[in-house]
Amino acid sequence: MAAHQAPDVWLHPELRAAVAAEDWGVVFRVWRRLVGVSQTVLGSRTGLAQSDVSAIERGHRRVTSTEVRQRVVEGLGVPAELLTGPSGSVPRPRRPDDAHTAPTTRGIPGHGGQGHGGQGHGDHLGAGRSNTGRSSAGGRSGGGPPHGQGDGVDYTGAAVVPGLPSLALPSIAPDPDMLDRLTATTTGAVRPDATCLDWLERLLAEHRRAEDTLGSRPLRGIMAQQLRTVVDLHHRARGSVVNRVVRLAAEHAQFMAWLCQDQGEHGAALAWYDRAHDWGLEAGDHDMAATTLSMKSHLAWSTGNSRRCVTLAEAARWSCPDASLGVRGMAAQMAARGHALAGEAEPARRLLREAEALVRGAAERQDNPAWMYFYDETWFRLQRGMAEMHLRAWRTAVELISSGLAQLPETYRRDRAWYRACLAHALVGAGDPEQAASVALATVKDAAEVGRPHSWHELHATAALLVRRRSRHGRELVEALRAHD
């Protein structure tokens, strides 16, 4: 049942990323587009009815059977190297309650059973992609090793505290007394107290900042285990710390959602955002409740759904009027981005002005929650530039993104790769293909190492624009990208 597609079809980055993420709906759509066949033909190769192929492509059904998965792999001719994990075996489909794909809620009363796993959300989590939006087809695609190997950071997770894996960052190493206290807490010998929770909050903050440089891939497994540890503390907590544990669990779940979203695993991200939202409400944390709605708005934007981007951002605005200025500014900015995606310039720019005032006020009053440490006027300028890209105001977008990048610290390696990829795209739109190619070529290495799938896809989009416009630089960028695919 071997497929007869062109021999290089599996070199396509979107297809490789979708296989790595085991997003079979995207695999089907991209494979059919590249090979030029119908759903019926794909079904005949994989032993599926045309209606089943359609349902999987639309996200209404999932491939959960090992036998069906094997038929798909054989029928489409998926190369073994895209399926073989570190152990050398072919990975199995992940369970809905796997810590890497969906929330687990052990230990929190009222939240028992398996997590969502992204099920039931196929109506709005399609694989569409806006011109400047982040692709939903990505995953743990191949390429160079994670940035920093050999730089003293352990990506597999060192047990700084027994039973609590973390990156081996010197800044979080506890002193002997604190280590004894944390060990007793995580092993169940004593109940969690405020001092231990202070340290766990610091641990989370350090990993957030590490992700800015390393990207999301190295932190996924580590953060899943840290979240599990925090949730396990809940049933042993007493008194005033109970609410703090729930709040800390919400912050971990929100970060897990972002890690999933950044790797293009949108179903898992949505489930984690839902869990973080619930826990935020339980803890009485208006900032977390509003933030998760804004991040779900961002998720809708990344799939090209402008209407849902706007409605979720507006929900964040009206449902949590007591949220901090920075959180309200983020919600207004996301609503503006949704309008911009739909080409609605007047409401987009009106909301951007409102968001700018809120963000400036937050900076003056230091009115941001811990997880929005990055959100300042520089960040807003970059996001405004992306909105102007949607409105095809290319020269304005170039100016905003360029000035934002000039102020963005080098430690934000993953985000610098994303915004430089956007800048290259905007430069093509502004009629400067030579400078666009220069920026894009200088971004390839970082995008390959810490920017997959989003920055990587944006660079491919820029290369396609250059080729279509018959720029002599287009092929040069295509070859540079191919060298890292």
Per-residue pLDDT at 163: 67
Question: Is the domain of 382 the same as that of 430?
Answer: no
Tell whether 91 is covered by a domain: no
3-state SS class at 94:
coil
Residue 485 pLDDT grade (very low, low, confident, very high; cuts 50, 70, 90) = confident
> What pLDDT shows up at residue 450?
86
Are the beta carbons of 262 and 140 closer than 8 angstroms?
Answer: no
- Between these two residues, 238 and 357, which has the higher pLDDT value? 357
Report the pLDDT value the prediction gives residue 16, as an integer from 0 to 100: 79
- Gap between the Cα atoms of 236 and 202, Å rounded: 21
Domain end residue (candidates: 235, 266, 283): 283
pLDDT of 111 strictly over 50: no
- Shared domain for 165 and 194, answered yes or no, is yes
In a domain, 127, yes or no: no
For the chain, the average pLDDT equals 81
pLDDT tens by residue, 350-380: 999 999 999 999 988 888 899 998 888 999 9
- Do residues 269 and 260 lie in contact, with contact meaning Cβ atoms separated by under 8 Å? yes
Q: What is the pLDDT of residue 316?
A: 97
pLDDT at residue 93 greater than cutoff 70 = no
Residues 474 and 358 in one domain: no
- Kindly state whether residues 169 and 269 are assigned to the same domain: yes
CATH of the domain at 69: 1.10.260.40
pLDDT digits (tens, 9 = 90+) for 153-178: 333 444 567 667 788 777 777 888 88
Q: Which domain holds residue 55?
A: 9-82
Q: Which of 57-71, 136-150, 199-213 has the lowest mean pLDDT?
A: 136-150
Q: What is the pLDDT of residue 442?
A: 96
The model's pLDDT over 391-430, given as tens digits with 9 standing for 90+, comes to 999 999 999 999 999 999 998 999 999 999 999 999 999 9
Peptide bond into 453 cis (omega under 30): yes
Q: Please determine, for residue 141, whether its predicted confidence score (pLDDT) is greater than 70.
A: no
For residue 300, the model assigns a pLDDT of 95
118 falls in which pLDDT band (50, 70, 90)?
A: very low
Same domain as 269, residue 238 = yes
Each residue of 180-205: pLDDT tens digit? 888 888 888 888 999 999 999 999 99
How high is the pLDDT of residue 328?
96
Give 144-205 as a DSSP string: SPPTTTTTT--TT-EEEETTEEE---GGGPPPHHHHHHHHHHHTTSS---HHHHHHHHHHHH
% of the chain at pLDDT higher than 90: 47
In a domain, 126, yes or no: no
pLDDT over 80 at 131, yes or no: no
**Does 73 reside within a domain?**
yes
pLDDT, mean of residues 208-228: 86
User: Which H, E and C letters describe 425-484, residue by residue?
Assistant: HHHHHCCCHHHHHHHHHHHHHHHHHHCCCHHHHHHHHHHHHHHHCCCCCHHHHHHHHHCC
Tokens coding 49: 């009815």
Report the pLDDT value the prediction gives residue 334, as an integer from 0 to 100: 97
> Is residue 129 in some structural domain?
no
Q: How far is Cα 369 from Cα 366, in angstroms, rounded to an integer?
A: 9
The amino acid occupying position 8 is D
Write down the pTM of the prediction. 0.68
Whole-number pLDDT of residue 71: 86
**pLDDT (tens digit per residue) in 419-461:** 999 999 999 999 999 999 999 999 999 999 888 888 999 999 9
Residues 382 and 413 placed together within one structural domain of the fold: no
Predicted confidence (pLDDT) at residue 69 exceeds the cutoff of 90:
no
pLDDT given at position 8: 66
Among the three residues 356, 391, 426, which one is the final residue of a domain in this structure?
391
Same domain membership, residue 291 and residue 258? no
Do residues 212 and 254 both lie within one domain? yes
In this structure, the answer to whether residues 343 and 408 fall within a common structural domain is no
Secondary structure element (H or E) that encloses residue 221, with its range: helix 220-233
pLDDT of residue 64: 76
Q: What is the pLDDT of residue 162?
A: 67
Domain co-membership, 214 together with 190: yes
Judgement on whether residues 328 and 242 belong to the same structural domain of the protein: no
Whether 101 is in a domain gets the answer no
pLDDT band of residue 34 (cuts 50, 70, 90) is confident
Same domain, 441 and 466: yes
160 vs 84, 175, 176, 236, CA distance in Å? 30, 11, 11, 22
CB 418 within 8 Å of CB 104: no
List beta partners, residue 166: 158
Mean pLDDT of 83-110: 37
At residue 159, the pLDDT reads: 52
Q: How far apart are CA 19 and CA 442, in angstroms?
A: 28
Amino acid at the residue 368: N
Select from 271, 431, 290 the least CA-distant residue to 371.
290
**Residue 313, pLDDT above cutoff 70:** yes
pLDDT at 215 over 90: no
User: Is residue 142 classed exposed, middle or buried when 0-12, 13-18 and 19+ CB atoms within 10 A define those classes?
Assistant: middle
Flag whether pLDDT at 148 surpasses 50: no
Q: Which of 60, 82, 104 is the last residue of a domain?
A: 82
Report if residue 136 sits inside a domain: no
Rounded CA-CA distance 396/378 in Å is 15
User: Of 55-59, 148-152, 261-265, 367-371, which range is least confident?
Assistant: 148-152
**Structural domain count, the chain:** 4
Query: Does residue 85 register a pLDDT over 60?
Result: no
Query: Residue 340: its pLDDT value, please?
Result: 98
- Give 80's pLDDT tier (boundaries 50, 70, 90): confident
In a domain, 95, yes or no: no
Q: Does 7 have pLDDT greater than 80?
A: no
